[in-house]
Amino acid sequence: MSTKFMRIALALLLAFAVAAPLAACGKRGDLEEPKGEKTQFPRAMPR
């Protein structure tokens, strides 16, 4: 394999390795309280 191809492949691999953990962060949807249970917290859940 050529050196140029190896550099491009390494750059793509590093970019993926850095971006993959960040893609797993964040809120998926609205938080919902359990049905039929009283909340244990003194204030409302954030929305």
Tell me the whole-structure pTM to 2 decimals: 0.48
- What percent of the chain has a predicted confidence (pLDDT) above 70? 55
**pLDDT tens profile 3-22:** 999 999 999 999 999 988 88
**Cα(34)–Cα(45) distance, rounded to whole angstroms?**
11
CB 16, CB 23: distance < 8 Å: no
pLDDT, residue 20, reads 86
